[in-house]
Amino acid sequence: MSATVNVDDVKVNKTLRAKLPEPTGYRLLIAIPEINEKTDGGVFMPDQLKSAEETASIIGFVLKAGPDAYKDENKFPTGAWCGEKSWVLMGRYAGNRFKVDGLEVRLINDDNIIATILDPADISYV
């Protein structure tokens, strides 16, 4: 059974945005989208599976980039791998996880991005 991700852009109002930390150095601030309560077939997911899906989340939405993100031309000779408002895939346990007003976010290093994606609904968890 796979979960689907709410594909609406992560909703961050001005009040919440003001509370979000500014990434330092080469870090990215990534929002983790909520996992839907039902599968594509309309079946409710058990809490344990939903929790496992959230813990091992690999999909994120780039909210902010630190001032040095993707500036190392030796490491990123073709430029940035992603930017703000990009949907990305990252390592399962990359970065530091925390919540701000209920929104789960991660601070990760710029090189922890493994791919960019157009639609998070196209990706299923394994």
- pLDDT, one tens digit per residue, over 72-89 is 999 999 999 999 999 999
Whether the pLDDT of residue 95 is over 90: the answer is yes
Write out the two tokens for 30. Answer: 């990534």
CATH of the domain spanning 14-122, picked from 3.30.413.10, 2.30.33.40, 3.40.50.720, 3.40.190.10: 2.30.33.40
Domain boundaries, the chain: 14-122
Its pTM surpasses 0.85: no
- List Cα–Cα distances, 69 to 8, 16, 126, in angstroms: 25, 23, 29
- The answer to which of 56-65, 81-90, 107-116 has the lowest mean pLDDT is 56-65
How many C-alpha atoms does 65 have within 13 Å on its Cβ side? 18
